[in-house]
Amino acid sequence: MSNTAGQIIKCRAAVAWEAGKPLVIEEVEVAPPKAGEVRLKILYTSLCHTDVYFWEAKGQTPLFPRIFGHEAGGIVESVGEGVTHLKPGDHALPVFTGECGECPHCKSEESNMCDLLRINTDRGVMIHDQESRFSIKGKPIYHFVGTSTFSEYTVVHAGCVAKINPEAPLDKVCVLSCGICTGLGATINVAKPKPGSSVAVFGLGAVGLAAAEGARISGASRIIGVDLVSSRFELAKKFGVNEFVNPKDHNKPVQEVIAEMTNGGVDRSVECTGSIQAMISAFECVHDVIESELGWGVAVLVGVPSKDDAFKTHPTNFLNERTLKGTFYGNYKPRTDLPNVVEKYMRGELELEKFITHTVPFSEINKAFDLMLKGESIRCIIRMDE
């Protein structure tokens, strides 16, 4: 047991008091974990576009004051009653979704959509008692997706914490808590390209670059990046992208351009933008029936569309043996699979350093937001121990 177990801890946290306003470093009180919970000391956290989206509060119900952050690495400080798979001192990654281990989804090899712990962006409290573990002078501060890693200490449901190899550098593997695994798993676990195959990746942000990295690891020979910003191609080359298409450079639908480039379509495509048109293009650019051969193209949707969007394509695209799939967090189960992804990095099979473009101290966390808003960073690591 740590010498702070069972006690309230006072520490620094970056609090968002209002939508779109700079975060403020405040002293917060972090309550001890209750049954089924874990209190983590966060050593490194990184900024994801999802944090920025909900901080701006565009298109969703604002919930403030709030502590954002959901990509991080830390050490278990204490555990609540009933927690057996973690102990103080364990190195761990908190994750915005979870694995209770008991529901039908957790028991199925086909799903990672835990009934109890799947992501809930509207919830600002802990799941069991509907109360916050953060406060400032008695005033509750809301949680974010059950993680709130922009704090030196945070309380997380134990099912949302993956125990990892203590030798793994937390300032690198912390980026696996969200976007990198989402794109990587979409390719490796869902699209499953074969060595020598062709893959089109729509959107070359962090998730798309991770999808390209998955294609590189899988041995794809042609990795075609599709993006509206041509300057992204140069960076994407580091992730295995060896061809590039900007839809704005053509006077025909991009799926037709890709089909012409690849003699009928790519073997796999991964869509990482959330644009409904990109989703349709990603599906229609995969290989269909040609010259009496069966189609084999598989398209995987990763991006989250607007709530009123509708996917429209002709049914013949399915009858011609194209397959359309969706994925959540790359089909990784957090507690079961994330430690294995960390080991893939430790063996040198997965390169994480190239995703990390900047590092800032916790006191300069707003700089990380500025860099992302300007499109200058893929992942910015925030050091908690300045």
| For the chain, the helix, strand and coil percentages under 3-state DSSP, each to the nearest 5 | 30, 25, 45
For the question of residue 181 being annotated catalytic, the response is no
Give the angle 206-210-214 at the CA atoms, nearest 5°.
Answer: 170
- 114 counts as catalytic: yes
Alpha helices in 135-248 (DSSP H): 170-173, 179-185, 206-218, 232-236
Annotated catalytic, 105?
A: no
216 is catalytic: no
CA distance 27 to 135: 9
DSSP string, 349-362: SS--GGGEEEEEEG
Residue 161's DSSP bridge partners are: 94
What single-letter amino acid sits at 43?
Answer: L
Q: Would you call 48 a catalytic residue per the annotation? A: yes
**Active-site position among 48, 174, 272, 380:** 48
Kindly state the tokens that stand for 140: 């509750």
Q: Is 174 a catalytic residue?
A: no
Is there a catalytic annotation at residue 160? Answer: no
> What kind and span of H or E run contains 30?
strand 24-30
Identified catalytic residue from 77, 91, 106, 187 = 106
Helix H or strand E segment including 343: helix 334-346
100 noted as active-site residue: yes
Name the catalytic one among 39, 66, 70, 133. 70
Which of 114, 160, 272, 380 is the catalytic position? 114
How far apart (Å, rounded) are the C-alpha atoms in residues 377 and 206?
9
Whether 49 is catalytic: yes
The rounded distance, in Å, linking the Cα atoms of 164 and 170 is 10
Q: What's the sign of the alpha-carbon dihedral 18, 23, 29, 31?
A: positive
End-to-end CA distance of the chain: 26
Choosing from 103, 243, 343, 351, which is the catalytic residue?
A: 103
Instruction: Choose the catalytic residue: 26, 37, 71, 152.
Output: 71
The count of C-alpha atoms lying within 13 angstroms of the C-alpha of 135, restricted to the half-sphere facing its C-beta, is 11
Active site residue 128: no
> For this structure, is 102 an active site residue?
no
Catalytic residue among 37, 39, 45, 50: 50
Instruction: From the candidates 12, 85, 118, 358, give the one annotated as an active-site residue.
Output: 118
106 in active site: yes
Which position among 49, 123, 358, 383 bears the catalytic label? 49
Catalytic residue positions, numbered: 48-50, 70-71, 100, 103, 106, 114, 118, 178, 379
